Amino acid sequence: MVDSFLPGFSVTGDTDGRWPLVMASPHSGREYPPAFLAASRLSLAQLRRAEDPYVDELLDGVTGVPVLRARFGRAWLDLNRDADELDPAMFEGRLQDARPLAFRATDRVSSGLGVLPRVAGQGLDIYRRRLTTAEAEARLRAVHAPWHSRIAELLARAHARHGHAILVDCHSMPQPAGVLPAQIVLGDRYGTSASPMLMALIERHFTDAGWRVARNAPYAGGHTTAFHGNVAAGIHAVQIEIDRSLYVDAQRLQRNSGFDGVAAQLRALAGAIVEAAPGLGLGPAQRQAAE
């Protein structure tokens, strides 16, 4: 079973650390294993509602900088969740007895959006049966762990070469409600996963493009930014949420006339970060000398 999940994602660009930046698209995968489709009560179209459609293709114009793109759909495995965000009610038997699996109750798990989601778009239940712990372990071991190990490896190589490293985790969001809602939401875990100077640069980039930008509301960053961001060590992680109405017809999941413009802005952002990074003071925090 595990062999059929490999490779679980792709990596393009230079992976030797020559760039200080790594970019990722964890929620745009469009493949679904046959066994998963057979176990699901939902149609493929319904499952695809959980995707961040075509974010991986928005990043196709980014050259040089390493870019990770998920292969499988988010409804099958959510790479922006911790491996222990598992819902015991989804499984046969006692999850507590399944080693090496662990589980942790979080708000995301309670809402059905753990690392193995219980619901897809519109809150629809995915499965027609309970899962085995072996199924969960196979997905986590084959795809989730290697994804985050690869990100950590690329960041470590960048850090060794530049003294700092930057991860930009790219997502899309439904068009927010309200009058003049944000079109771009930047998440840095409320100032804990990335430098203020880096955040200001990214915010300015999108504002100059004519888009409304917010920080940390309603999306502050998920497991990826929390796990990989370590400002004190000089490793910075930012989540970017893009209003998908800017580039895709959300009902038909087809690219619209804005697609090329959004892709160009992401390409330009990568260049702007690489150019500005040496002057942003992104290295490890200096320890205060003892008095």
Read out DSSP for 44-70? HHHHGGGS-TTHHHHTTT--SS-EEEE
Read off the pLDDT of residues 95-109 as tens digits, 9 standing for 90 and up: 666 666 778 889 999
Alpha helices in the chain (DSSP H): 34-39, 44-47, 55-58, 107-110, 133-139, 145-162, 196-208, 223-228, 259-276
Long-range contacts of 50-53, Cβ-Cβ distance < 8 Å, separation of 24 or more: 50/74, 50/75, 50/117, 50/120, 50/121, 51/27, 51/75, 51/253, 52/25, 52/27, 52/28, 52/170, 52/171, 52/172, 52/244, 53/28, 53/172, 53/244, 53/248, 53/250, 53/253
Q: Which structural domains are found in the chain, ordered by start?
A: 2-74+141-279 (3.40.630.40)
**Which pLDDT belongs to residue 291?**
35
Binned average pLDDT, 10 residues per bin, the chain of 291 residues: 86 98 98 96 95 97 98 98 94 71 88 96 92 94 98 98 98 91 98 98 98 97 98 98 95 93 98 98 66 35
**Which pLDDT belongs to residue 95?**
62
**Which pLDDT belongs to residue 46?**
95
